[in-house]
A and B are shown apart, each in its own frame.
Chain A
Amino acid sequence: MEFFQSIDWMMMLRCFIVGGLICVIGQILIDKTKLTPARILVIFVTTGAILGGLGIYQHLIDFAGCGATVPLTGFGNALAKGAIEEVSKSGLVGAFIGGTKAAAGGIAAAIFFGYIASLISKPKMKKQ
């Protein structure tokens, strides 16, 4: 109960709206440009990295929390921010370490869960 009282519901609303709107941008790209899913994801991650590098994306995260970090733009931002942090700590080599380090959890989880899923499950035909 105490946990629920600690939730900032206004933040939750902003998260829902911003997260939703970022997805709407993706949907418009899909429907209007016939880009493949892989290209959409690349556009989002690169945009996130650029906005993160410029320090703009952090404002969106401050405003909407996971509404900004959960979409792939947030993943791109985490990569860029990680690189910047590591560069200020250890110089040039940090540019190569920082990004992957910041995103390591997500990448490793996706690889691991992907492998597990392929072990236990088979693709099935979409009925629709």
Chain B
Amino acid sequence: MKPIETQKEYQDYVDKKSPNSPILKNCFNAFWVGGLICSIGQIIFNYCKYRGLELQISNTIVSIILIGISAFLTGLNLFNKIGKFAGAGSLVPITGFANSIVSPAMEYKSEGYVMGVGGKMFTVAGPVLVFGISASIIVGIIYLIFNTQTITLV
């Protein structure tokens, strides 16, 4: 092997030396766990529909129940094990959003309930709300502009 002199050479060498994540296995696990979580949501949704609830309310109930389950599992110290196994399968559904709020809340409990739990709760999930809500406002404004000219995108 030739001696390594530059940062670029070293980066390439390290990339070659570092093992990759087992992507096929990870994707398979993400697929079936993610699918399963969505299916649980679908069953709850069907039940709401069966009980004659409105569409939007049903969707909200699905979210709340899945968030509740996720928070419960996080509190039981189980969610990180599921997350380690399923990766994006439990991160991408709304369960991952809930976990990313509950886990810092638990973590920073030692800094008190106000500045610890209250202040640090959104260290991971905060950006989701910032970008999600900002995007929705922009979408709303764009819609307003186009709509007043009676051009609808929807």
| B24-47 Cβ-contact flags toward A at 8 Å (1 or 0) | 001100111111111101111111
Instruction: State whether A72 touches B106 (Cβ < 8 A).
Output: no
| A5-48 Cβ-contact flags toward B at 8 Å (1 or 0) | 01110011001111111111111111110000111111011101
**Contacts known (A26-B88, A27-B89, A92-B144); A106 close to B67, Cβ less than 8 A:** yes
How many residues on the A side are at the interface (Cβ–Cβ under 8 A)? 91
**Contacts known (A79-B133, A79-B135); A16 close to B35, Cβ less than 8 A:** yes
Instruction: State whether B137 touches A66 (Cβ < 8 A).
Output: no
Instruction: State whether B133 touches A109 (Cβ < 8 A).
Output: no
Instruction: State whether B81 touches A117 (Cβ < 8 A).
Output: no
Q: Which residue of chain B is the closest to A32 with respect to CB atoms? A: B23
Instruction: State whether A17 touches B132 (Cβ < 8 A).
Output: no
* Interface of A, helix, strand, loop or mixed by DSSP: helix
Query: Please, which residues of chain A bring their CB within 8 A of the CB of B92?
Result: 22-23, 25-26, 40-41, 44, 71-72
Chain B interface: which size bin? 35 or more
Query: Please, which residues of chain B bring their CB within 8 A of the CB of A18?
Result: 38
Whole-angstrom CA separation of A50 from B21 in the bound complex: 30
Query: Please, which residues of chain A bring their CB within 8 A of the CB of B103?
Result: 123
**Contacts known (A65-B45, A92-B144, A106-B94); A27 close to B87, Cβ less than 8 A:** yes
**Contacts known (A30-B87, A83-B139, A117-B71); A107 close to B23, Cβ less than 8 A:** no
| B127-144 Cβ-contact flags toward A at 8 Å (1 or 0) | 111011101111111111
By a beta-carbon cutoff of 8 Å, the part of chain A in contact with chain B is: 2-3, 6-8, 11-12, 15-32, 37-42, 44-46, 48-50, 52-55, 64-67, 69-72, 74-76, 78-80, 82-84, 86-88, 91-92, 94-96, 98-100, 102-103, 105-107, 109-111, 113-124, 126, 128
By a beta-carbon cutoff of 8 Å, the part of chain B in contact with chain A is: 20-21, 23, 26-27, 30-39, 41-47, 49-50, 56, 59-64, 66-68, 71-72, 74-77, 80-81, 84, 86-89, 91-94, 96-98, 100-103, 105-107, 109, 113, 117-118, 121, 124-125, 127-129, 131-133, 135-144, 147, 153-154
